[in-house]
Structure 1
Amino acid sequence: MAAHSSLIIFISELRKSIRRLGLSLFLVTLTIFFLSPQMLRYVQEHLAEKLYFFSVAGPFLAHVKMSLFGAVFVLMPWLLTVLWKAMGKPFKVEGKQLFFFVLFTCLLFYAGTMFCYFVTLPFGIKFLLGFGSEELKPVISVGRFVNFVTLFILAFGAIFELPIFMVFMAKVGVCPRSFFERNRRYALLMIAIVAALLTPTPDVVNMLLMGGPLYILYEAGIVILMIMRIK
């Protein structure tokens, strides 16, 4: 019964901001659309890839996706604030506690996206394209390239928030620290499944590039709980 009422509070709190969020996402996407050619050129130069398109609408749709990604990236602090307010309401997490949860979640999200963009993506793309040869030349669609890059970056931003959500669940009594310590093997299995679902391509290399840091973050969450003496 308590879980049911908490869910109702969470949903009702979330609904208060959903329209404003939707409108803001649309307006920011529209604004960034005019900058999307420069964004795409920068990403393309960073990853050193020549792109092609195979349909008339291909470039336009790629720029729309890039603009939407940019809007989500820019609005993430607000999105996370809304999420944490809704999650914290049933458990009376507010004031300074809420501020710190929002702050560290934002920092971890942007740290994850930067780590992916500057470390994981260049290494992963270089490795995967290394299987090309004189007879086997890569021809990369702009649409698939944008899908791959944006989904991978957002996925890394999301998984880097794992420690803070572990702290939240332990603090409100949903999952104590002993639960995380006792279920490492199941966590490893879940991490493998999540990595398989979130990576844009189903190859083992990309799964390891995501699953490895995710498990390290899981262990980091346990260490943080120990340091903060949250049982």
Structure 2
Amino acid sequence: MTTADIPESGPEDDLQQGLFSHLLELRTRLLKSLAALVLVLLALVPFANRLYSQLAAPLVARLPEGAHLIATGVTSPFITPLKLAFYLALFISMPVILYQLWAFVSPGLYKHEKRLARPLLVAAMALFYLGCAFAYFLVLPAAFRFLVAVTPSGVEMMTDISQYLDFVMLMFFAFGLCFEVPVAVVVLAAVGVVDLDKLRSGRRYAIVGAFGVAAVITPPDITSMLMLGVPMCLLYEVGVLAVRWLIPPRSPEPDAS
């Protein structure tokens, strides 16, 4: 057989091989992310009950004397701490998961896109963690103080441990997302949806939107609403500054006429 008899690989074969190699790499990245999550989860499971006690501290410290958390489900005392361990494992291993995601998509990005995406990814992760910490140390104690104070006379406040976990995780997720305002502002400016002038002129709408979101997300007390609305307004200003520093102004398009 001569070299002329060997079939040449065409564009379709190259496309299939490239797709197959990308799928293999994606599989490897997903397995590494899953391995990191499982390792952290296994390390946290022995401390699950202690971790739940720490999570419940903002509420337990403000309950009336004699009141305590309860478990209404048969398996809740076992399942609920494990759920918390899983959430914390996902929380802790998120940098590894995001790194694997970045390692998969970064080869397809342009140099200027990588230069902008790296700080945005780090900032998004840091702001999400900051939002969760803000909710745990500041917002939840104030919210539980209000809820305990408005409990009607003759009603004993005894919260189910599973419902408490769901409520706190929802608050963490909501505050973590709300603290992503600067990243969202920079992304919108980077893709051309808004520019610096529009961001400056839209401050009043941003303030109204921030307090509207805060009124929906937070418990029904003015303190919690202010504790989310004010930081969101400040974070909007941080986003405006970031756009000024990171996004060059677009040159006006030439007149077609």
1:9 corresponding residue in structure 2: none
1:224 corresponding residue in structure 2: 242
Measured after TM superposition, the shift of residue 82 of structure 1 is 4.8
Indicate conservation of the 8 Å contact 1:77/1:102, yes or no.
Answer: no
In the alignment, the residues of structure 2 paired with residue 166 and residue 87 of structure 1 have an alpha-carbon distance, to the nearest angstrom, of 22
1:37 corresponding residue in structure 2: 49
The structure with more radius of gyration: 2
Using the size of structure 1 for normalisation, the TM-score is 0.74
Does the residue aligned with 2:164 lie in a helix, a strand or coil?
Answer: helix
Choose the corresponding residue for 1:56, options 74, 79, 84: 74
2:156 corresponding residue in structure 1: 137
Measured after TM superposition, the shift of residue 159 of structure 1 is 2.1
- Greater shift, 30-39 or 176-185, is seen at 176-185
Q: 1:210 to 1:72 in 2, by over 3 A?
A: farther
Counterpart amino acid of 2:195? P
Q: Which stretches in structure 1 are left out of the alignment for 5+ residues?
A: 1-11
Indicate conservation of the 8 Å contact 2:143/2:219, yes or no.
Answer: no
In the alignment, the residues of structure 2 paired with residue 212 and residue 98 of structure 1 have an alpha-carbon distance, to the nearest angstrom, of 27
- Greater shift, 101-110 or 16-25, is seen at 16-25
Choose the corresponding residue for 1:203, options 220, 242, 248: 220
Deviations 1:156-192 (A, max 9, x none): 2232222133224424545322343344455456546
Q: Which stretches in structure 2 are left out of the alignment for 5+ residues?
A: 1-21, 250-257
Indicate conservation of the 8 Å contact 1:177/1:230, yes or no.
Answer: no
Does the residue aligned with 1:51 lie in a helix, a strand or coil?
Answer: coil
Q: 1:188 to 1:82 in 2, by over 3 A?
A: farther
Counterpart amino acid of 2:197? S
Q: 1:134 to 1:202 in 2, by over 3 A?
A: closer
1:153 corresponding residue in structure 2: 172
Measured after TM superposition, the shift of residue 145 of structure 1 is 1.0
Q: 1:172 to 1:78 in 2, by over 3 A?
A: farther
Q: 1:86 to 1:148 in 2, by over 3 A?
A: farther
In the alignment, the residues of structure 2 paired with residue 101 and residue 230 of structure 1 have an alpha-carbon distance, to the nearest angstrom, of 16
Deviations 1:171-229 (A, max 9, x none): 454532234334445545654665466x3x76365555434422331232113323557
For residues 79-90 of structure 1, the aligned pairs below 5 Å read 79-82=97-100, 89-90=108-109
Matched, 1:170 2:223: no
- Greater shift, 128-137 or 115-124, is seen at 128-137
Does the residue aligned with 1:147 lie in a helix, a strand or coil?
Answer: helix
- CA RMSD for the aligned pairs? 3.4
- Greater shift, 69-78 or 175-184, is seen at 175-184
Choose the corresponding residue for 1:128, options 139, 147, 154: 147
Q: 1:68 to 1:130 in 2, by over 3 A?
A: same
Deviations 1:18-70 (A, max 9, x none): 44434533443343222111111122234425210111012223112211221
Does the residue aligned with 1:140 lie in a helix, a strand or coil?
Answer: coil
Measured after TM superposition, the shift of residue 90 of structure 1 is 4.7
